[in-house]
Chains A and B, each alone.
Chain A
Amino acid sequence: QKEVEQNSGPLSVPEGAIASLNCTYSDRGSQSFFWYRQYSGKSPELIMSIYSNGDKEDGRFTAQLNKASQYVSLLIRDSQPSDSATYLCAVTVTNAGKSTFGDGTTLTVKP
């Protein structure tokens, strides 16, 4: 079992729809959870971090964390073509000093 698993994708949604990206992790000692956005040919960029159960909203982005189910998700409301990218889920285990990444989910938003 991989430490961090994401929907294999690709995921395609129409412009204006809600895109839902999912991630599960295996280590219950995980303390910090991140979503990075990576445009084709570019490096990843941190867009959301979440640390406690529940929802965290930032503009059109909402991160959701459920530690009991070991599940993290990212919702993108009112999806735009500029949101088309690969989204990487990353997890840091307490005191590990490093993050582990999932393989990413590629999102395409069609005009």
Chain B
Amino acid sequence: DGGITQSPKYLFRKEGQNVTLSCEQNLNHDAMYWYRQDPGQGLRLIYYSQIVNDFQKGDIAEGYSVSREKKESFPLTVTSAQKNPTAFYLCASSADNLVVYGYTFGSGTRLTVV
């Protein structure tokens, strides 16, 4: 079945540590997105990519980095510069670069700082 796979489901980060969240899709979608969701809040855009080897900052990119070396993969690194990384991270893809038809989401990664 086509879809988006995020791993791990739960992740614990120590202070000062970088961690990488995986996102893989087999939908053949060009555009991929990373959103962050805090409790009781909506989704805020971190980074997005509409084509391999290119990506754009979203509204809250500071403390995060991404790469897009393959169409299927869009990993997100949460760096030590992100001071409050505890949140639910959602990866999404869109069948078209203009997001006319909406997103398909992965199941999410819940990151906690310990």
Contact = CB atoms under 8 A, between A and B. Distances in A.
Interface residues of A, number: 26
Given A44-B43, A101-B44, 20 more contacts: A4-B42, A32-B101, A36-B103, A43-B90, A43-B105, A90-B103, A92-B100, A95-B98, A96-B99, A97-B31, A97-B50, A97-B97, A97-B99, A98-B58, A99-B102, A99-B103, A101-B35, A101-B43, A102-B42, A104-B42
Interface residues of B, number: 26
Contacts of B104: 46
A42 B108 CA distance: 8
A97 B105 contact: no
A34 B43 contact: no
Interface string B35-46: 100001111110
Contacts of B58: 98
Given A45-B105, A97-B48, A92 B43 contact: no
Interface in A33-77: 34, 36, 42-46, 49, 51
A85 B99 CA distance: 24
A51 B42 CA distance: 22
Interface of B: 31, 33, 35, 40-45, 48, 50, 56, 58, 90, 97-108
A4 B42 CA distance: 10
12 contacts: A34-B102, A34-B103, A36-B102, A43-B108, A44-B105, A46-B103, A97-B31, A97-B56, A98-B48, A98-B58, A100-B45, A101-B44
A38 to B, nearest CB: 9
Contacts of B100: 31-32, 51, 92
Q: Which of A31, A42, A90, A99 has the most CB of B within 10 A?
A: A99
